[in-house]
A and B are shown apart, each in its own frame.
Chain A
Amino acid sequence: MEKSIRSLIFITIITVFCIWVSLPTTEGIHIDSDGDGTTEINLNVQLSQGLDLVGGLRVLLQAELPPGSFTAEDLRQTANNVGKRVNALGVTEPTVQVQGNNRILVELPGVRDPQVAVETIQQTALLEFVNFSGLSGQAQDFINARILTTQQVMIQNQRGETNDGTLLVNPLTNLPFETVMTGAGLQAAAAEYNQGQWLIQFELTNDGASIFGPYTAANIRQPMAIVLDGQVVSAPVIQAQLDTGGVIEGRFTEDEAKQLALQLRSGALPIPLRVESAETVGATLGQESVNLSIRAGVIGVIIVFMFMLIYYRVPGLAATFALMVFILINVALFKLIPITLTLPAITGFLISIGTAVDGNILIFERIKEEIRANKPIEEALEAGFNRAWQSIRDSNFSTIIICAILFFFGQTPGASIVAGFAVTLVIGLLVNLFTAVVVTRTFLQILVVVLRQPIERRAWLLGA
């Protein structure tokens, strides 16, 4: 009995902690021990919901270059710049992850316009200021044309590509156009509305100014092309020396101007990307499936409670308490680990609730048998728990193995939803090893002591 009371105290502490963690308002522990404004002890507790629940965009981008033509550092830099763009989109909790050696996974929860988001993050946005000196009147004919520049030739050489000959070269020299400076020379860029048109105002870095200042000074009244991803956006005439910044005109719409400014701020992508897979989920749709799953879960759990109480009576009551502890520990773990909840993940959890009572049932059936063999109650309980343990352990093990296999299958980008199911199911099975055995045993031993008299008179209370 003393042992049971010690277990009960232990279980109570765990339960109270789990209730606290599970409360929707709990955000964790953040302690600022020395009062300097930054918290030293941080325990984050948040329920993180997957895109299928909150809505949003999930897109897998693939390097559009043959393997070997770029380094891991290039890919990391690309992901980094994608990350900057994503942050500028104002999404809360975006994820940008390098996957394997040629992919980047981007998740944007709650994004309203996935189309714009994909275009913004996917575009290479290589900006070039190109020498058009001497072309005078001809310069305007190149607007919207795709031209070959020295910068592009350099990139192609690095990647071991050859150009296909459809790009225009400088008619004066029959050589590629000379790139004066790339977007890397810009330090800030912003979209601005000025005199009836959208344009981009930029400032130069020190390096940028040291190239751009002398060049513009030497080429006053000559045209200069502004080229984005190989396409001429505009070809203004240089009016004065520019060594701090300037503006880019190009008949932009408001959206285009803002998008380009954002891309220039975050830098060009070292590797061009294409969309390999994408999923867009409307916000309402996700919320609806959360509500439906919660409703289904609550109804299912109530039926399980009723079944256990009616079929097993006093042990059933212990199992019901244990199941409540089970649910609390699971929810708390989801928040602590944290597990990203998706629809399959919630389903895995619900299934684990359904199978969680399996351990209890194995034990209770044993106890019934022992009581039928006329053993005293305490001995029957002891024997029931001890004998059922091996079955519980062995039988759960096979499902745990399967979950591990499913989890690895779920690491494939296209099958990621599977991982959520496997993780919650396996957490459920493991927690159940604790609740079905330790928690149920403690509750049952205490209930048997408290209800000794009625139980001894009525064997049916133990389900026998």
Chain B
Amino acid sequence: MFSLVQKRRWFYLLSSLIIVPGIAIMIYSVVTTGALFRLSNDFVGGSIYELQFTTSGATEANIRDVFEANANDDLSIQRLGSADANRWSVRAAFQDTETQGAILEGLEQIAPLDRDSVRIEQVSPTVGQEVAQAAFVAVIIAATVVTGFILLAFREVPNALQYGLCAIVAMLHDVLVVSGIMSLMGLLLGWEVDALFLTALLTVVGFSIQDTIVVFDRIRENIPKHLGEPYETIVNRSILETIHRSLATQLNAFFIMIAILLFGGDSIKQFIAILFVGLLTGTYSSIFIAVPLLVSLQKGEIPFFSSRKPTIQAVEA
């Protein structure tokens, strides 16, 4: 039988190769920008203008002039699409209705705007702060509830705590991978963490647990069926039995997500990309991290958390 579990040290190494640089990038990001990620308007407040001019004539300089004339500095102005698309994105501070009106009037002087294709978002710092607080609470609740659920789902299995611990480590693994990549994209491409990023992250957590449970379920079922077999063999068998399912399921989710990435609207693409990476690492971690870790724990390779008498445990079960 092909043994995945035996190669577990390689998987740990591979994950470290992704997670450690990710953490390094986050630290770098904190040192240089003062935050783990670039935070979007959703969390800090501000305004976003997506402008569609009907004729050419807009330049970064004249757009900047209009905003600065209305007491807005700290601007970020970007062209969207090709040069002849006449589409621009501007990020600025939160403004009242009058200022927004004055800015739009000023922009109309540059070139006529197609109001049907303009999007403007204003979020006050207060609302942003509330979203940030709610996000914090959501993460805490999610962490608590998910941990509780895992422990509950495996309460009847011998060494329930070990299963729970492995599922949680796999989940943290996914959170770290996604966060590291987000931090990197923030530095490279200016991706911002918004409410949808948090949504993607929590969804990833949900699916990651889902995958881990399917594999663990099989181990739970196989232990009494193959009494006397070494634990490692049972676990390995369980992985091989469920790997088709894991891959087939993920493949289908990926078909849909790739379709959205290639053919869907721009505004949702960053969200889908994060979800995509998250589901990928979620599947990987449930097979190549959660389960091998279980074996490491049972075999006493990890001090403190492991059982004292690993071999007897497996046979008894």
Contact = CB atoms under 8 A, between A and B. Distances in A.
B116 A303 contact: no
Interface stretch (B172-180, B249-257, B309-317): B249-257
A354 B257 contact: yes
A394 B211 CA distance: 10
Contact of A299 (B97, B145, B259): B259
A415 B118 contact: no
Contacts of B141: 405
Interface in A351-399: 351, 353-355, 357-358, 361-362, 365, 369, 390-391, 394-399
Nearest to B120: A280
A394 B249 contact: no
Contacts of A114: 120
A237 B104 CA distance: 40
A274 interface: yes
B205 A282 contact: no
B210 A398 contact: yes
A140 B242 CA distance: 87
B195 A417 contact: yes
Contacts of B142: 401-402, 405
Given A355-B249, A365-B244, A399-B210, A343 B267 contact: yes
Nearest to B207: A399
A417 B199 CA distance: 10
B96 A354 contact: no
B102 to A, nearest CB: 10
Interface string B62-81: 00000000000000000000
B189 to A, nearest CB: 21
A402 B146 contact: yes
A443 B249 CA distance: 20
A442 interface: no
Contact of B127 (A52, A354, A362, A414): A414
A274 B214 contact: no
B60 interface: no
Given A284-B117, A355-B252, A361-B249, A296 B259 contact: yes
Nearest to A361: B248
A382 B221 CA distance: 18
Contact of A297 (B198, B202, B259, B275): B259
Contacts of A297: 256, 259-260
Interface in B187-232: 195-196, 198-199, 202-203, 205-207, 209-211, 213-214, 217-218
Contacts of B211: 395
Interface stretch (A38-46, A129-137, A287-295): A287-295
A84 interface: no
A115 B119 contact: no
B196 to A, nearest CB: 7
B101 interface: yes
A401 B149 contact: yes
B195 A418 contact: yes
B19 interface: no
A405 B146 CA distance: 11
Contacts of A361: 244-245, 248-249, 252
B115 interface: yes
Contacts of B124: 62, 275-277
Contacts of A347: 260, 268, 271-272
Contacts of A397: 149, 153
A161 interface: no
A112 interface: yes
Contact of B265 (A274, A293, A355, A411): A293
B222 to A, nearest CB: 12
A97 B195 CA distance: 22
Interface in B267-312: 267-268, 271-272, 275
B158 interface: no
A100 to B, nearest CB: 10
B255 A402 contact: no
A79 B115 CA distance: 28
A300 B272 CA distance: 13
Contact of A421 (B126, B137, B199, B253): B199
Interface in B122-142: 122-124, 126-128, 130-131, 134-135, 137-138, 141-142
| Secondary structure type dominating chain B contacts | helix
A414 B97 contact: no
Contacts of A280: 118-121
A289 B267 contact: yes
B2 interface: no
Given A399-B203, A412-B130, A413-B130, A115 B145 contact: no
A122 B101 CA distance: 14
Contacts of A399: 203, 206-207, 209-210
Given A277-B122, A289-B267, A412-B130, A55 B116 contact: yes
A60 interface: yes
Contacts of A281: 119
Interface string A256-275: 00000000000000000011
B256 A350 contact: yes
Contact of B255 (A285, A354, A390, A412): A354
Contact of A414 (B42, B120, B251, B256): B42
A301 B255 CA distance: 8
A311 interface: yes
Given A280-B119, A307-B251, A414-B130, A300 B97 contact: no
A279 B122 contact: yes
B183 interface: no
B52 interface: yes
Contact of A115 (B104, B210, B249, B271): B104
Contacts of B263: 292, 295-296, 299
Given A297-B259, A350-B260, A414-B128, A285 B119 contact: yes
Contacts of B264: 292-293, 295-296
21 contacts: A275-B97, A278-B121, A282-B119, A283-B116, A289-B265, A293-B264, A295-B264, A296-B262, A297-B256, A297-B260, A300-B257, A300-B259, A344-B199, A351-B257, A351-B275, A362-B245, A398-B210, A401-B142, A405-B141, A414-B131, A415-B134
Closest 8 pairs between A and B when the two form their complex, measured CB to CB: A300-B259, A402-B206, A354-B256, A399-B206, A289-B265, A300-B256, A354-B253, A296-B264
Interface of A: 52, 55, 60, 62, 112-115, 118-119, 122, 274-285, 288-289, 292-293, 295-297, 299-301, 303-304, 307-308, 311, 343-344, 347, 350-351, 353-355, 357-358, 361-362, 365, 369, 390-391, 394-403, 405-406, 408-409, 411-415, 417-418, 421-422, 425
Given A344-B196, A403-B206, A409-B137, 8 more contacts: A282-B52, A343-B268, A357-B252, A361-B252, A365-B245, A391-B213, A399-B207, A406-B199
